[in-house]
Amino acid sequence: MSGTTLLINLAGAIALLLWGSHMISTALQRGFGTPLRNWMGRHLTNRWTALLAGVGITGVLQSSTAVSMMATSFTAAGTLSLAPALAVMLGANIGSTLVVQLMSFNMEMAIPLLLLAGFVVFKMRDHSNFESVGCALIGLGLMLLALHLLSGTLADIEVTPVFHAVMQGLQGDVLIALLVAAILTLLCHSSVAIILLIASLAATGAMTPATALVLVLGANIGGALPPVLNAGSAVARRLPVGNLMVRLAGCALALLLLPLLTDTAQKSGLSTPQLVVWFHTAFSATLALLFIGLTAPMARCLERLFPEEERVGDPGMPMYLDDAGLEVAYIGLSNSVRESLRAADMLTIMLDRLLVLFITQEKQAADEIRQLDQSVDLLSAAVRAYLADIGQDG
């Protein structure tokens, strides 16, 4: 088989893996995101509850990014303080490892069953949740199929000189391996897919345990970057930056202890692919245990680093219509509702000033009404455009 064919097969398998992960995440968010979001807003009373909520909701939605956007929207609205939101993200990091654990089992026989069951359930259109569950089952089947294709392709690639040169390059420089995994995860927007890819590479036998651990650390850093880059306001940056700080601190500590971790891994008796999966889970669980008691001081630090911006100028400028809400419909709708309530408040003020104008004939009241009318028009146009853009990318 030619090198070009191998590269095309590899790219196709990775694309199918990413698409399956995307299908699971978007389907479950569409079907169950709103009730989970409502439950999350009512029941996060302390850091331990928040931690468990992060594990459970991310385990269901299979997207720590979606959970991050949920928690960020609550903190921006003032209904959830930053400290429990940080605890939610500690749990979300654990929850995102659950699907990796599931995929680590040999489930090739389940591929046709999952695809068939997903199709049958999807056709049950009596309730929209059936469609969501059906899409999620199909996505899971596609991910398993992608892993099967990936293992076969990598078996052919591992005998090529280029593959061995790449593996030697990664094993020769810890920083390069860390950056490669982080950049790949950032570009793919899926730490789950990259961890599974690392496990598949490890199964070829061309990767040392130390390199596998470093690649997992890089994937954890890369998975925390998209929410930071997508955050619009200073308040919206607090939570994703806090999550990134936790992962960076954990990665720095793990790199310092890398010789000890490698020695422990070799004595554990786990194969390198199993090591990738279990280290990924152990890393997130350890970070949760280390930082769960530090969420309050971290929150105070982040609030000082990212103070709330004072808004001056036209009240018709949107405050909550950030880009993150365009990717997840129920968050975008929530943002639109908040802006609509602001428009309603301005209309109330307009009516009050209108009564004053009728009674006093003041020119100042007329000017205020005119300015408010322009602000309401501007804000309503922004909300309409935002609603039209929701979901266009997914």
pLDDT single digits (tens) 215-245? 999 999 988 888 888 776 677 788 889 999 9
pLDDT tens-digit readout, 198-219: 888 888 777 888 888 999 999 9
Chain mean position to CA 162: 33
pLDDT of residue 150: 78
What token pair was written down for 235? 């308040």
For residue 91, CA distances in Å to 57, 84, 199, 278 come to 9, 11, 23, 16
Phi-psi region of 31 (alpha: psi -120 to 50; beta: other; left: phi over 0): alpha
pLDDT tens-digit readout, 286-326: 999 999 989 989 999 998 988 876 555 567 777 777 666 66
- The Cα–Cα gap between 78 and 359 comes to 39
> Are 235 and 67 within 8 A, CB to CB?
no
What token pair was written down for 88? 């939610």
> Are 217 and 254 within 8 A, CB to CB?
yes
> Are 111 and 72 within 8 A, CB to CB?
no
- Write the DSSP string, 161-203: HHHHHHHHHHHH-HHHHHHHHHHHHHHHT-HHHHHHHHHHHHT
Amino acid identity, residue 205? Answer: G
Within 13 Å and on the Cβ side, how many CA atoms surround 131? 8
In this structure, the dihedral spanned by the alpha carbons of residues 169, 178, 105 and 137, taken in order and rounded to 10 degrees, is: -120
For residue 129, CA distances in Å to 30, 124, 132, 307, 327 come to 8, 9, 5, 40, 19
What token pair was written down for 363? 């020119």
- Domain positions in the chain are 3-305, 324-389
Helices (H), 292-327: 295-305, 324-327
Most confident of 56-60, 80-84, 276-280: 276-280
pLDDT of residue 394: 45
> Are 233 and 58 within 8 A, CB to CB?
no
Mean pLDDT of 62-88: 76
Amino acid identity, residue 188? Answer: C
Mean pLDDT of 119-133: 78
Place of tokens 């790449």: 166
Within 13 Å and on the Cβ side, how many CA atoms surround 279? 33
- The Cα–Cα gap between 2 and 220 comes to 34
Query: Nearest to residue 89, comparing CAs of 99, 101, 80?
Result: 80
